[in-house]
Amino acid sequence: MYKSLKDRYKPERSWPANSADPFPFEGDIPVLQFINTYRNRGGIHRKDYLENYEDFLTWCNEFNIVDLEDYNTLNFEAYCNPHNANPVWQRTIRLRETIYEFINSTLRDKQIHEDAVTYFNEILSEANAHLRFELNGNSLQVMWFNTHEELAVPLWILVKQATVLLQSAKFRDIKKCHCGKFYLDTTKNKSRRWCNPLVCGNAVRSREYKERKMKLVVEIEGGC
């Protein structure tokens, strides 16, 4: 049965999932880009770019969470075992929203819910159970083990990356754009205003220009 499925299976790489609406790349680092896959949280035109496990896996490959070989392996496992892939996807979405709460609540000086911390720790404990030290020459190296064909591997990689971010100096550089996306402001004077200067920056500058022009027209007409 397993072999016959493998013979029929043909992995389909489809990025962007929709050429007219590709995965958002804003965020500067994978953890923030992961959070930004949900657009307009709480707004009218909400969009989730990770609608199933396949979307999540494709995103992970495109943003270098997993390489092409692991992508093909996990995509085949998900194809054969959709009943296992869907729960992993659901947990992934919950982790994304948990990390969002951590960052958003901190930026707004709001209390983080205890159940969010509990859930994050559950996923982190799972990930740590698959990590161990191994000798690499005369030095020690942390390596993953017992993860072959494990659908949750990308989830574990992301929770580990999030753990590093939450404890690093970079955490203080996180800002939230007016569009709702997070980004890292690494400028010397912390003057960056937008997640993407070519999109949000141009939109704001265009609006400000129109407002100045309208104000000038009103002043001229008022002086007549």
pLDDT tens sequence for the chain (224 residues): 445 444 544 444 444 444 556 788 889 999 999 999 999 887 788 999 999 999 999 999 999 999 999 999 999 999 999 999 999 999 999 999 999 999 999 999 999 999 999 999 999 999 999 999 999 888 999 999 999 889 999 999 999 999 999 999 999 999 999 889 999 999 989 888 888 888 785 544 445 444 444 554 445 555 55
CA distance 27 to 198: 14
Are residue 53 and residue 128 in the same domain, yes or no?
yes
Kindly calculate the radius of gyration of the chain based on its CA atoms and give it in whole angstroms.
22
Are residue 26 and residue 123 in the same domain, yes or no?
yes
Q: Please list, in sequence order, all residues whose beta carbon lies within 8 angstroms of the beta carbon of residue 40, skipping any fewer than 6 positions away.
A: 46, 47, 180
CA distance 14 to 71: 12
Q: Could you tell me the pTM of the whole model? A: 0.82
Are residue 111 and residue 203 in the same domain, yes or no?
no
Are residue 54 and residue 113 in the same domain, yes or no?
yes
Are residue 167 and residue 207 in the same domain, yes or no?
no
Look at the chain and report how many structural domains it folds into.
2
Are residue 56 and residue 147 in the same domain, yes or no?
yes
Task: Quote the Cα angle for 62-36-173, to 5°.
Answer: 105
Q: Where in the sequence is the domain holding 204, given as residue range(s)?
A: 193-224
Are residue 28 and residue 123 in the same domain, yes or no?
yes
CA distance 40 to 179: 7
Are residue 96 and residue 148 in the same domain, yes or no?
yes
CB 142 within 8 A of CB 128: no
Q: What's the Cα-to-Cα distance from 176 to each of 103, 122, 191, 192, 193, rounded to whole Å?
A: 9, 27, 13, 11, 9
- Where residue 31 sits, what CATH number does that domain have? 1.10.3300
Are residue 44 and residue 128 in the same domain, yes or no?
yes
Are residue 213 and residue 199 in the same domain, yes or no?
yes
Are residue 93 and residue 10 in the same domain, yes or no?
yes
